[in-house]
Amino acid sequence: MPRPGAKVDGDDPDYPPTEQLELLYGQVRAGLDRQDVEAQKIRERATTLVASSFVVLGLVVAAFAQGPNPIRSPILRTSYALAVVLLGVSLVFGARVALSRDLLQSPEPDALYREYYGLPPNLMMADLTASAAEAGRANRETRIIPRRTLLVAFQFVTVILAALSLIMGILLFEVRSGS
């Protein structure tokens, strides 16, 4: 490594030219950015479903408080209990998505300024490109995005099942008590 303050005027001939590496780095960075946007969208869906879980939970509590005594009705007791359990499962899925680790990102050039100061630009770009490519590969290998997507799908299904359980319990109770 050249001593601090040394000035380098050209590319290292052992590495591709800086212009090519900048193009490659931009493409690799764009891939990382796409991964990050996709992960953020999944996290936003999970947050929306957590909010939906609380809305359905509010409906369960309201129906429980306003409606007939569920202790006397096994149908209502079962539907309320099932809805609450399913909402709990949904909240666990949502928390798991929201609290999971972030995707890996490559270092920004500013973070490496001291390490590369005085070195040829193409050497720095080659290392940055390799680092970004490694972060993208690691993100794909850990399958963070597919796992989060699956958790959000399960979360969605449990919220729907909880709402259906509540609705079916109330309808069955009304049909039975009306006859």
| Residue spans of alpha helices (H) in 119-143 | 121-142
* Cα distances (angstroms) measured from residue 7 to each of 3, 36, 91, 116, 121: 9, 36, 57, 12, 11
Q: Phi-psi bin for 3: left (phi > 0), alpha (psi -120 to 50), beta?
A: beta
pLDDT in tens, 30-71: 998 998 899 889 989 898 888 888 888 887 777 767 666 655
Distance CA(84)–CA(62), nearest Å, equals 13
- The share of the chain scoring above pLDDT 70, in percent, equals 83
pLDDT in tens, 89-113: 998 888 888 877 777 776 665 656 6
Helix 74-99, helix 144-178: angle, nearest 10: 170
Higher pLDDT, 133 or 3: 133
Distance CA(114)–CA(135), nearest Å, equals 21
pLDDT in tens, 123-138: 888 888 888 888 888 8
Residue 138, SS3 per DSSP:
helix
Contact predicate 169/75, CB 8 Å = yes
39: which 2 tokens?
Answer: 């992960």
